[in-house]
Structure 1
Amino acid sequence: MQDQLKIALIQTELFWENPKQNRIHFTNKIESISESVELIVLPEMFTSGFTMNPKKVAETMFGETVVWMQEMAMLKETAIMGSMVISEHGNFYNRLLFVHPNGIIEAYDKKHTFTLAGEDKVYTAGKTKLLVTYKGWRICPLVCYDLRFPVWARNVEDYDLLIYVANWPKVRITAWKSLLKARAIENMAYCVGVNRIGLDGNNHEYSGHSAVFDVLGEKIDHIPDNKEAIEIITLSKSHIKTYREKLNFLNDKDAFKLE
């Protein structure tokens, strides 16, 4: 079990409903990472932006973007994660893919579809939480609107790292920053949020504010707001262990069962 995990967060604009152009864009971003990293995190719906037109951009689990993620992961010898629109069994999903360096895929379908934008009308909500074990780290990957629901993220699995990928608009960015910090503190885990920047096809503005918080809620990244950025940061298991053993807050958590 390794103590450190080096991750890269890519905060960038997205090309509206254009998977091919976004794949080219992210290929260039990923290839520009000269350091050896173990996980690369892309935003929510990184092939399209937050679209309610899934028929225009949807792919299958054997489609070009999934194959591209596998190829990039194997080429860079790193895991890559982000969400995209997947068509399966007659339904559309906002599906997060965690692609391991050997090309193996683990998937999570966004549970909390964003009713304000009508996401619940066109995308099928997921029902199962995903815990990824990677290099001795237990990682809980979630998507955007999931951030507003602390019970779903509650650390009952003893995970080390909580990651949110998002298209979170500028108008509600205070909530994004506050809730990421809260999720880190209440779960005594690192909490990472990767958000996009720029305007989408509906003229919604995104200002980034991607961030990394440690178990005490301290912001430990240096990601600029509203700018293209690739942030590389190293997380430490010993940091988690030290404060969990010293404070023991998770031992006092409430017991509950999701219906």
Structure 2
Amino acid sequence: MNVAAVQMVSGPDLQANLEQARGLLQQAQRAGAELAVLPEYFGFMGWRETDKLQLAEAWGHGPMQAFLAQQAQTLGLWIVGGTVPLATDDPQRVANASLVYDPQGRCVARYDKIHLFRFHDGQRGYDEAAVLKAGEQPVTFALRDRAGHVWRVGLSVCYDLRFAELYRLLAADVLVVPAAFTYVTGQAHWEVLLRARAIENQAYVIASGQGGEHPNGRQTWGQSMVVDPWGEVLAQQSRGPGVVVAELSRARLQEVRQRLPALQHRRLLLGAPQLS
């Protein structure tokens, strides 16, 4: 199955972002992809974090959700819609939701980002909990490809990448990671974390990032890539908008898991003590 990691440099203009995403999804479809993954905040990166509240969509309605459904149906693609800000019962916070659409344009899965990013290096600071409401449930979905193979796909978003226990719970064949990693943290940790999640779960990883300098002055790392279950980077793009296409092989997945059956050798249960 061919897949595409879509890299963008989104800004505060929703329509311009959707047009950028449309062209990149068309490029992915022409390259033979069956599944395309958009980055976190593909539709909108505003001037301030609170701008997300103004664009929050009701679950099941809104321009970003309509766009994803239309593109999935028009292009005949499975699409993981990066993230969409969805309204919650708290008017001061939105859910950072990753939405999955099948080739008929139906939304078949929703995952609300569980782990919320907080970072400060003395100059730059971020605290997602100020405007985001954390999700609670890990989510997977089943994708039947054109060859008839069924893949268990696990959903995650950006900062989730640092929490290995989430990926153990997903127990997936394919892990998707839409992201908007900062330049500083991405340069230090992005690739090594992606490869680690692939190796320890013996799964493919599709990582779609924001990658460039945004109108609000934020710099994101990019380096969207597809990693195989042995930890090999199959394809990647450094910076700027683009599409990374790679082939996922069911035979390769099975070969890695049979050669080194690490998933069968686990002895410790999840649930380590919390650090104070």
1:88-107 correspondence runs (5 A)? 88-90=88-90, 91-105=93-107, 106-107=109-110
1:180 deviates by 0.3
> Which of 110, 115, 120 does residue 112 from structure 1 map onto?
115
Aligned alpha-carbon RMSD (Å): 1.8
Cα shift readout 1:48-101 (whole Å, capped 9, x = no counterpart): 127522222222231111011101000011111111211133441100001111
1:16-55 correspondence runs (5 A)? 16=12, 18-33=13-28, 34-49=30-45, 52-53=49-50, 54-55=52-53
Aligned counterpart, 1:128: 137
Among all aligned residue pairs of Structure 1 and Structure 2, give the percentage whose two residues are the same amino acid: 27
Aligned to 1:186, what secondary structure does the other structure show?
Answer: helix
Cα shift readout 1:122-152 (whole Å, capped 9, x = no counterpart): 1110000001101110000100000011111
After TM superposition, the score normalised by the length of structure 2 is 0.86
Aligned to 2:44, what secondary structure does the other structure show?
Answer: coil
Instruction: Using the TM superposition, name which of 127-136 and 31-40 deviates more.
Output: 31-40
Cα shift readout 1:215-234 (whole Å, capped 9, x = no counterpart): 1111111x231133212211
Return closer, same or farther for 1:258/1:143 CA change in 2, 3 Å cut-off. farther
1:61-210 correspondence runs (5 A)? 61=59, 62-81=61-80, 82-90=82-90, 91-105=93-107, 106-116=109-119, 117-135=126-144, 136-154=150-168, 156-173=169-186, 174-210=188-224
Q: Distance in 1 between matches of 2:21 and 2:223?
A: 19
1:201 deviates by 4.4
Q: Distance in 1 between matches of 2:272 and 2:253?
A: 26
Return closer, same or farther for 1:67/1:12 CA change in 2, 3 Å cut-off. same
Q: Confirm or deny that 1:235 pairs with 2:257.
A: no
1:185 deviates by 0.7
Say whether the 8 Å CA contact 2:154–2:175 is kept in structure 1: yes
Structure 1 counterpart of 2:179, one-letter code:
A
Cα shift readout 1:146-186 (whole Å, capped 9, x = no counterpart): 001111111x4531011110000111222011100110111
Cα shift readout 1:182-213 (whole Å, capped 9, x = no counterpart): 10111111112111112234422123111111
After TM superposition, the score normalised by the length of structure 1 is 0.91
Structure 2: runs of 5+ lacking an equivalent: 120-125, 145-149
1:243 deviates by 1.4
Aligned counterpart, 1:14: 10
Aligned to 1:32, what secondary structure does the other structure show?
Answer: helix
User: How many matched pairs?
Assistant: 252
Cα shift readout 1:10-53 (whole Å, capped 9, x = no counterpart): 1121123x222211221122223423321111100111127522
Say whether the 8 Å CA contact 1:19–1:57 is kept in structure 2: no
Aligned to 2:40, what secondary structure does the other structure show?
Answer: coil
Instruction: Using the TM superposition, name which of 107-116 and 205-214 deviates more.
Output: 205-214
1:104 deviates by 2.1
Structure 1: runs of 5+ lacking an equivalent: none
